[in-house]
Amino acid sequence: MKKLYYPAIFQVEEEGGYSVFFPDIEGCNTQGETVEEAYDMAFDALSLTLSYLHDNKLDIPEPSRPQDVRLSTNQYVVIIQFDMQEYLRKHQSKAVKKTLSIPSWLNEVAMEQNINFSQVLQEALLNKINIH
């Protein structure tokens, strides 16, 4: 999955702080006292929502173009970037057991050299899928 860039509508509240919602994702809303906090909360809300949709094999909505987002008074658009692979790498690192077969001679040589098979496989897979 490629990186996604969702427009978030930041609304300056009269009593202070910011409300944030995503016009493309119903129910994905948050808020923050400062613009920095609102941005962090918006990233978290988007990440949790999109990872939930992904995990449950639900459709992930296409992001709107920022210029197509309609704004009211005291609102502005902020683009929030989401990278599913990066998010999953950070938050879903539970180990899974895999069974594999290699030639016996290779197994013997690797064991003599105290090679960690799991580490080698992880490094090879990361290299193969071009993640470093």
The 10s digit of each residue's pLDDT in 98-116 is: 888 989 999 999 999 999 9
- State the pLDDT at residue 100: 86
- State the pLDDT at residue 123: 85
What are the CA-CA distances from residue 83 to residues 7, 25, 89, 92 (Å)?
Answer: 15, 16, 10, 14
Q: What is the pLDDT of residues 63-90, one digit of tens each?
A: 999 999 999 999 999 999 999 888 877 7
Contact status, residue 63 vs residue 24, Cβ threshold 8 Å: yes
- State the pLDDT at residue 122: 82
Domain residue spans in the chain?
4-91, 95-132
At the topology level, CATH places domain 4-91 in Double Stranded RNA Binding Domain (3.30.160)
Beta bridge partners, 10, equal 20, 76
DSSP class of 63: P
Contact status, residue 16 vs residue 52, Cβ threshold 8 Å: no
Whole-structure pTM value: 0.69
